[in-house]
Amino acid sequence: MIHVQNREIVVPGQLIAEGNYRHLEGSYREGNKIYSAVVGLADVKGDRVRVIPLQGRYIPHVGDLVIGVVIDNHSSGWILDINSPYTANLFVSELVHRKVDLNKEDISKFLSIGDVVLASVKEVDEYMRVLLETPGRGMGKIKGGKLVEISPAKIPRVLGRKGSMLKVIESKTGCTLAVGQNGRIIIWGKDPERVNLAVEAILMIEREAHTSGLTDRVSLMLEKQREGGI
Amino acid sequence: MEKPEKLLIDGKRLDGRAPDELRPLKIKAGVLERADGSAYVELGNNKVFAAVYGPREMHPRHDQQPDSAVLRCRYSMAPFSVEDRKRPGPDRRSMEISKVTREALEPVLFLELYPRSVIDVFIEVLQADAGTRTAGINAAAVALADAGVPMRDLVSSVAVGKIDGTIILDLMKEEDQFGTTDMPVAIIPRKKVVTLLQMDGHFTKEEFKQALDLAFKGCEKIYEVQRQALKEKYAIKEGE
């Protein structure tokens, strides 16, 4: 039995469902009852119960795409800030995809402190030590572009269902976006005004993340702005 | 302040409240821009802010727990919060309140989800009128939820006491100072578990039971206001 409406705002300790349901993020089970653990939107689909959080820090999970900033180096790699309570480790071999002889090669030519890196999470252990890798195209050190930081809880809305929101922003502004699960977004574009327009859209999504029909409103806003000058 | 002749006149208290009545309560969530979560509580003449930072990397490193997060609480009173200037900085009293506040909040948090990190809770009392530790706990619970920290439930807290032989709810300054007993209580409302219970003064066994019952009733009312405050933060914008 479900005790809330779909997409209703729930608070910690609120009863969501009773009986045979699977509970995912943002909720916990006690006996045969499922309660919310965070402030968020209740989401019930079939026998799945979860709460979409509206706030909170980024906690790394294997496979996440993240955007990190190099904060330190060590003999065989770098330590990155990933906008989380935990720092991440990136080894040279994971960055350049080959075996590197540390005695023969100076690794400081690859990355230095302050560089921005697009990477994915390779491993997280029980002590929350994080390892990164850069397997995909476009991963590794980022050159150019504009970095925007928003609350990590709002990243799913920036992507939209199956990336629909992202497609809207990319097509209406003509920019290319890389969205990290950790709340950082990089925007590449030729025209600085259009890049700023994409930033506007992202900030709008952050402000109104908990409302419905957002994709249409963002699309409308971008069209209006484009008519007015750009 | 002079001792009033009677604290209870014709069943009414000095401020006109019935013995089982709370002071006017106002809670607002998400009031501080820089904090991850925050809350502001007004309970009668008490004005209290709570700010939550984290979970974040813990310094000093040697205080990290390898398998769980650490909760750090700091209760502090502004120098201008009381009639005679309070010397700023931690003292015996505020260290004790920080400790009991931490222990009142810890049971509801899923600290094991964030190994090696810390969750900082700062409680600042701007204006005090008895019952600031309970107001602080109420504010901190809302601020933690506002920060998106996973919790089993909120924590609600209220003081009960005895004046002129009558059990009363939510003591104000005169009642605290000249009354017989002051007993702050914090509970986890859903499970009805007590997480803080202190007592200054004395109760008989029957009075204690009666007082605890009254505290539970008061906490239920506060719990409702806390939940409303959290929902309101997002509800207003929904009309846009």
A226: pLDDT strictly greater than 80: no
Domain A65-141 sits in CATH at 2.40.50.140
What is the pLDDT of chain A when averaged over all its residues? 93
Q: Search chain A and give the residue with CA nearest B38.
A: A55
Q: What DSSP designation does B63 have?
A: G
Q: Search chain B and give the residue with CA nearest A40.
A: B148
Partner-chain residue, chosen from B57, B67, B150, that has the shortest CB–CB distance to A37: B150
| C-beta atoms of B114 and A59 within 8 A | yes
Predicted confidence band of residue A229 (pLDDT cuts 50, 70, 90): low
B236: pLDDT strictly greater than 60: no
Show the tokens assigned to A74: 């060590």
Other residues' Cβ atoms within 10 Å of the Cβ of residue B5 = 6
Predicted confidence band of residue B240 (pLDDT cuts 50, 70, 90): very low
Predicted confidence band of residue A230 (pLDDT cuts 50, 70, 90): low
Q: What is the mean pLDDT of residues B119-129?
A: 98
DSSP string computed for A14-54: -EEEESS-EE-TTEEEETTEEEE-SSEEEEEETTEEEEEES
User: For residue B83, what pLDDT is reported?
Assistant: 93
Q: Kindly list the domain boundaries of chain A, sorted by start residue.
A: 9-53, 65-141, 146-227
A42: pLDDT strictly greater than 50: yes
* Digit-coded pLDDT (tens) for B14-24: 999 999 999 99
Give how far A172 is from chain B: nearest CA, Å.
Answer: 23
Residue type, A1: M
* ipTM metric: 0.91
**Backbone phi, psi, residue B41, to 5°:** -125, 130
Q: Do A9-53 and A65-141 come out as alike in CATH topology?
A: yes
B206: pLDDT strictly greater than 60: yes
Which residues of A are less than 8 Å from B227 in CB distance? 11, 14
What span, in angstroms and rounded, lies between the C-alpha atoms of A156 and A45? Answer: 17
| C-beta atoms of B116 and A85 within 8 A | yes
* Cα B4–chain centre separation: 27
Partner-chain residue, chosen from B54, B116, B154, that has the shortest CB–CB distance to A128: B116
* Digit-coded pLDDT (tens) for A23-32: 999 999 999 9
Question: Of 2.60.60.20, 3.30.360.10, 2.40.50.100, 3.90.1150.10, which CATH number belongs to A9-53?
Answer: 2.40.50.100
Q: Which of A84-88, A98-102, B44-48 is predicted with the least confidence, judged by mean pLDDT?
A: A98-102
Domain A146-227 sits in CATH at 3.30.1370.10
Q: Which of A11, A52, A220 to mutate to test the interface with B (most CBs of B within 10 A)?
A: A11
DSSP string computed for B179-219: SSEEEEEEEETTTTEEEEE--BS---HHHHHHHHHHHHHHH
User: For residue B2, what pLDDT is reported?
Assistant: 80
User: For residue A181, what pLDDT is reported?
Assistant: 96
Question: Of 3.30.230.70, 3.40.470.10, 3.30.1330.30, 3.40.640.10, which CATH number belongs to B13-239?
Answer: 3.30.230.70
User: For residue B127, what pLDDT is reported?
Assistant: 98
User: For residue A224, what pLDDT is reported?
Assistant: 87
Strands A33-36 and A27-30: antiparallel
Integer angstrom CA distances of residue A196 from A187, B12, B177: 9, 62, 60
Q: Search chain A and give the residue with CA nearest B234.
A: A210
Indicate the pTM of the whole model.
0.93
A22: pLDDT strictly greater than 80: yes
Q: What DSSP designation does A87 have?
A: E
* Digit-coded pLDDT (tens) for B134-193: 999 999 999 999 999 999 999 999 999 999 999 999 999 999 999 999 999 999 999 999
Which one, of A101, A85, A104, lies nearest residue A93 by Cα? A101
**Backbone phi, psi, residue A37, to 5°:** -110, -15
User: For residue B237, what pLDDT is reported?
Assistant: 52
